[in-house]
Structure 1
Amino acid sequence: MHPLRPLAAAIGMLIAASATPTLAADDTFASFAVDTDVKLSSDQRTRGISDSLNKPGLKLSVQVAHESGLIGLVEISTVSKKQFLDGNGLGVTLAGGYRFGDPEGWHFGAGLATELFPGAGFDAPHGFDMETGTPTDLRHTKYDSVFAVAEIGYGALEGRLLNVLSKTYRGADTGGVCATLLALNADPTRGLACYGRGDHDSRGTWLADLDYQYSLGPATSLNLHVGYQKVANFKEADFADVRVGVTHKQWGFEWSADWLSTRTRADELYLALDGSKLRATDDDALVVSLSRRF
Structure 2
Amino acid sequence: MHPKSSIALLIAAAAAMPACAADTASFAIDTEVTLLSDLRTRGVSDSMNRPAVKLSVQAAHESGLIGLIEINTVSKKVFLDSDGYDLLLGGGYRFGDPDGWHFGVGLAAEFFPGAKFEAPHAIDLEAGAPADFRRTKYDSAFAVLEVGYGALEGRILHVLSKTYRGANTGGVCGTMLALSTDPTAALACYARGDHGSRGTWLLDLGYRHSLSPTTTLNLHAGYQKVKNFAEANFSDYSIGLTHKHWGFEWNAEWVTTRTKVRELFIAVDGDQLRATDGNRFIVSVSRKF
**Which TM-score tier does this pair reach, normalised by the shorter chain?**
over 0.9
TM-score calculated relative to the size of structure 1: 0.91
Q: What whole-Å deviation, never above 9, does each CA across 1:65-110 have from its counterpart, x for those lacking one?
A: 0011000000000000011111100011000000000001000110
The aligned amino acid for 2:254 is W
- Given the alignment, which residue of 261, 274, 289 partners 2:284? 289
The aligned amino acid for 2:157 is L
The aligned amino acid for 2:285 is L
The aligned amino acid for 1:224 is L
* CA-CA distance at 1:210 after TM superposition: 0.2
CA distance in structure 2 between the aligned counterparts of 1:183 and 1:101, rounded to whole angstroms: 49
Divergent runs of 4+, >2 A: none
1:73-112 matches, within 5 Å, as 73-112=68-107
Structure 2: 5+ residue stretches without partners: 8-17
Q: What whole-Å deviation, never above 9, does each CA across 1:145-189 have from its counterpart, x for those lacking one?
A: 000000110001000000000000000000000010111111100
TM-score calculated relative to the size of structure 2: 0.92
Structure 1: 5+ residue stretches without partners: 1-9, 15-22
1:258 matched residue in structure 2: 253
* CA-CA distance at 1:130 after TM superposition: 2.4
The aligned amino acid for 1:103 is P
Q: What whole-Å deviation, never above 9, does each CA across 1:111-150 have from its counterpart, x for those lacking one?
A: 0000100110011111112232111111110000000000
CA distance in structure 2 between the aligned counterparts of 1:181 and 1:284, rounded to whole angstroms: 22
1:93-172 matches, within 5 Å, as 93-172=88-167
1:192 matched residue in structure 2: 187
CA distance in structure 2 between the aligned counterparts of 1:276 and 1:270, rounded to whole angstroms: 16
1:17 matched residue in structure 2: none
The aligned amino acid for 1:117 is F
1:2-13 matches, within 5 Å, as 11=2
CA distance in structure 1 between the aligned counterparts of 2:158 and 2:215, rounded to whole angstroms: 33
CA distance in structure 2 between the aligned counterparts of 1:44 and 1:284, rounded to whole angstroms: 13
The aligned amino acid for 1:38 is V
2:45 matched residue in structure 1: 50
1:177 matched residue in structure 2: 172
1:207 matched residue in structure 2: 202
- Given the alignment, which residue of 30, 34, 40 partners 1:39? 34
Does residue 1:221 correspond to 2:207, yes or no?
Answer: no
CA distance in structure 1 between the aligned counterparts of 2:143 and 2:211, rounded to whole angstroms: 34
* CA-CA distance at 1:27 after TM superposition: 4.5
**Structural RMSD (CA):** 1.4
CA distance in structure 2 between the aligned counterparts of 1:231 and 1:55, rounded to whole angstroms: 26
Q: What whole-Å deviation, never above 9, does each CA across 1:179-201 have from its counterpart, x for those lacking one?
A: 10111111100100000000000
CA distance in structure 2 between the aligned counterparts of 1:151 and 1:247, rounded to whole angstroms: 22
Does residue 1:276 correspond to 2:266, yes or no?
Answer: no
2:228 matched residue in structure 1: 233
